[in-house]
Chains A and B, each alone.
Chain A
Amino acid sequence: MTGSAYNSYTRIVSFVAAALCTIFAFGIVAVLCLVVFYLFGKGASALSWQFFTELPGTDPQNPKGMRHALEGTLIMVSLAAAVGVPLGILVGVYLSEYSSEKFLPTTVRFVADVLAGVPSIVVGILGYELLVVPMGTNSGYAGAAALAFIMIPIVARTTEEMLKLVPKSYREGSLALGATKSQTILKVVLPAATGSIVTGVLLAIARAAGETAPLLFTALSSQYLTRDPSQPFPSLTVQIYNYATGPFQGQRTLAWAGILVLISLFFVLSLAVRWLTRRAVIKMV
């Protein structure tokens, strides 16, 4: 009797728990859908080819497009990645493969973790003090440097973690064949982890492309199509910020379109990351 009472009690508890979990899970998805639909509703109407092909133009009330900002983000993120990705990978390789002594790697790892958690506005102010002030002007280079600074710890830590997942037997096999340590890392260890490292790089790129605060202090913005990063430089995020807080309805509408483009970019990157992760895991086993 008590047994069955106990049984039905546990059954009720576990039913309630499962129900709660399901409800909250649906809740999260619902919120996300709401956001996406809202964005879509707001942005889709403003999104046209013009958005991608035209500059804001001369009429501040009705800017036509954000081509300059799209290109600006592309250029700055590329510059940042060109510096940040190799550096981050080097640091990751050091942490995972060359850290036989104790003090330095622990410190580097700690610093990387702190940097990864630093609020991005701090990076902006740092960039302002260290680059903009000495150079005397806001510039795309300063913006790219700030973004690289954000990317490095992310890339370094993912690289380290992924390299540590590469089985020791690969390293031993390679060394036993007479490969040097660097040959082993370059030819066996890194290739075995490429998929997962690319995942980390994509995450870092997504993060950098979505940053606003560091760019406000460093690259600032521009209304023109410029390819000279030594000048104030446009970016999608700062442009969105400026227009969203601007006085004109036309600007605010265009900001929504920009947000939609940004979200779509994240969406694509996340899909790529998922796809790559699945492939990378298959390769590791």
Chain B
Amino acid sequence: MQSNILDPTPSRMSDAIPTRPAASQPSADQAAPTRRVALRDSAKAEAGRYRIIEAIRSGQRHEPAVHAELANLTDAETIAKIDDFQLWYGKNQAIHHVNINVARGKVTALIGPSGCGKSTLLRSVNRLNDLIDGVRVAGSITINGRQVFGPGVDVINLRKRVGMVFQKPNPFPMSIFDNVVYRLRIDGERSKSTLEAASEKALRGAALWEEVKDRLKDSAVGLSGGQQQRLCIARAIVADPEMLLLDEPCSALDPIATLRIEELIHEIAERYTVLIVTHNMQQAARVSDYTAFMYLGRLVEFGPTKLIFQSPQLPETEDYVMGRFG
């Protein structure tokens, strides 16, 4: 496996997209009997090209390519610092020495092949991984200078400061209103006028107010998928969190609903810094200011989205965002 730089998957992909054959992959779309040989050939050809991926696969430490703009963020410009972070599920290490600075008021996207640890990293920021038995971490994450891990950290308080929206919309089986103000009620807020004002503000913030203002008492489960997801965003921003974590928030939605959420992400990012996981390259390109490319639990390249998609420093990043790899 290690000598093969390309899985069978990318070769299938380049079969499927014959209009974009990779120059360095001369025989990947040849007939089946010769494929093994062809792959091995291309592996040799790629050996020089995918230096970082090669190092990651053979288990060596590597230097990720972090663009100067992000390496030089000042503390004031950084809301969250992921510093030499590692995470294990039991014996399996899922995150290796990851460093990511999340820029304040911007959208940072995490991309990478399935299983590379994007969700794991995201769920480390609000310590939702604590729910899983046998999770261990090393290194540190800070949000606005405050530690996320470590003794004496109030996890409940941390989660109150960091909103999260999941892949599948998960409104609670209660009314729209009760969903939005849930976060306030667990803090003991009872005043009806306060709750009403807050829910209107949050629903407006999530671009849902006009659609639901006449049926706040209706069950949230009756909303469309896209509306449910915007409700989940409203629920997450109702108490002005310091940042928002979005884990593939559109992957269960149709294109129109996706578009609305993407617009929304743009609107709210300035106020609530967004860290978003996405599988969809176009989406990452459309919504994010910065993009981090991860592979097998490591950071590969991290830079301004424009550069990542147009002139990345690493050939592996270029091939990945073009869909030629992974």
Could you list which residues of chain A lie within 8 angstroms of chain B, going by C-beta atoms? 100, 167, 169-170, 172-180, 183, 187-188, 191-192, 283-285
Contacts A100-B133, A187-B185; A176 near B173 (Cβ below 8 A): no
Contact of A176 among B133, B159, B168 (CB under 8 A): B159
Sample of 28 A–B contacts (CB below 8 Å): A167-B170, A169-B170, A170-B170, A170-B173, A172-B128, A172-B166, A172-B170, A173-B172, A173-B235, A174-B172, A174-B182, A175-B159, A176-B126, A176-B128, A176-B166, A176-B236, A177-B159, A177-B160, A177-B182, A177-B186, A177-B235, A178-B157, A178-B161, A178-B186, A179-B182, A180-B156, A187-B182, A191-B173
Q: Which residues of A contact B168 (CB under 8 A)?
A: 169
Within 8 A of A (CB), among B47-62: none
What is the CA–CA distance of A188 and B171 in the complex, to the nearest angstrom? 10
Least CB distance, B199 to chain A, in whole angstroms: 14
B37 at the interface (CB under 8 A from A): no
Please give me the 3 A-B residue pairs with the lowest Cβ-Cβ distance, nearest first.
A178-B160, A169-B170, A178-B159
B256 at the A/B interface (Cβ < 8 Å)? no
Closest B residue to A178 by beta carbon equals B160
State A174–B164 Cα separation when bound (angstroms). Answer: 10
Which residues between 189 and 236 of chain B lie within 8 Å of chain A, taking CB atoms? 221, 232, 235-236
- Residues of chain B having any CB pair with chain A under 8 Å: 126, 128, 131, 133, 156-161, 163-164, 166, 168, 170-174, 182-183, 185-186, 221, 232, 235-236
Contact, CB under 8 Å: B159 / A283: no
Can you name the residue of chain B whose Cβ is closest to the Cβ of A167?
B170
CA distance A192 to B166 in the complex (A): 19
Q: Are B232 and A173 in contact (CB under 8 A)?
A: yes
Note all chain A residues with C-beta closer than 8 A to B133.
100
Min CB distance, A37 to chain B, in Å? Answer: 43
User: Could you say which residues of chain B place their CB within 8 Å of the CB of A177?
Assistant: 159-160, 163-164, 182-183, 186, 235-236
Q: Known contacts being A178-B183, A179-B186, A183-B186, is A173 close to B159, with CB within 8 Å? A: no
* Residues in B neighbouring A174, C-beta threshold 8 A: 172, 182
Query: How far apart sit A187 and B170, CA to CA, in the bound complex (Å)?
Result: 15
B170–A173 contact, CB under 8 A?
yes
The CA of A229 and the CA of B138, in the complex, are separated in Å by: 62
CB distance from A279 to the nearest CB of B (A): 11
Q: Which residue of B lies closest to A176 (CB)?
A: B164
Q: Please state if A170 and B159 are interface contacts (CB–CB under 8 Å).
A: no
Complex Cα distance A143/B22, Å? 82
Given the complex, which residues of A lie within 8 Å of B235, measured CB to CB? Answer: 173, 177
11 additional contacts, CB 8 Å, given A178-B156, A179-B182?
A: A100-B133, A169-B170, A170-B172, A172-B166, A173-B170, A174-B182, A175-B159, A177-B164, A177-B236, A187-B185, A191-B173
Q: Select which of B128, B156, B160, B172 is within 8 A of A188 by beta carbon.
A: B172
Q: How far is the CB of B129 from chain A (nearest CB, A)?
A: 11
Q: Which residues of chain A are within 8 angstroms of B182 by Cβ–Cβ distance?
A: 174, 177, 179, 187
Q: What residues of A have a CB within 8 angstroms of the CB of B171 in the complex? A: 173
A188 to B174, CA, bound (A): 9
What is the CA–CA distance of A118 and B157 in the complex, to the nearest angstrom? 47
The answer to whether B186 and A172 touch across the interface, beta carbons within 8 angstroms, is: no
What separation, in Å, do the CA atoms of A283 and B131 have in the docked complex?
A: 26
Contacts of A178 in B (CB 8 A): 156-161, 183, 186
Given the known A-B contacts A176-B159, A178-B186, are A284 and B170 also in contact in the complex, defined by CB atoms under 8 Å? no
Smallest distance from the beta carbon of B152 to chain A beta carbons, Å? 17
B166 touches A173 (CB 8 A): yes
